[in-house]
Amino acid sequence: MNTKQLILKSAITTFALSTVFSGIVFLWQTKANHPNISARLALCFSMMGTGLTMFIGSRIEAAQFEESLKPRPVPTPCRGCKHFHGVVYNSVLFNCAVHPKGWQGDKCPDWQTFKKSLEE
């Protein structure tokens, strides 16, 4: 489940629970002849809960978007190589088509420039 789905489900749950709470307060108010302030408080708290859920959700989404824009570091032996990929799949960095976990040394034996591949 991604973050948007989680936020949407929490907002729907908050709204549903606040609606149920408002209905219970309304029935309790009509049965016991309590003042009208109880229904207003229930509506106010339900709207505050929904608004708070949406605000938190937007902040989480903004933080994740900013995190996705940060450049990923390119290992030194992989700079300028045509095999370098550098994309994260399931929170695992896939560095290279030849060496998926990256090369541990200072110079990769399979390093190729883009110009060499165009000449072939």
Tell me the C-alpha distance between 106 and 44, whole Å.
Answer: 63
- Assess whether pLDDT exceeds 70 at residue 111: yes
Task: Give the domain ranges of the chain.
Answer: 3-69, 76-119
- Residue labelled with tokens 């907002």: 11
Sign, CA dihedral 26-30-31-33, equals positive
pLDDT digits (tens, 9 = 90+) for 31-69: 655 566 666 777 777 777 777 777 777 777 776 676 666
pTM of the model: 0.36
pLDDT digits (tens, 9 = 90+) for 62-110: 766 766 666 666 667 777 777 777 777 777 777 777 777 777 778 888 7
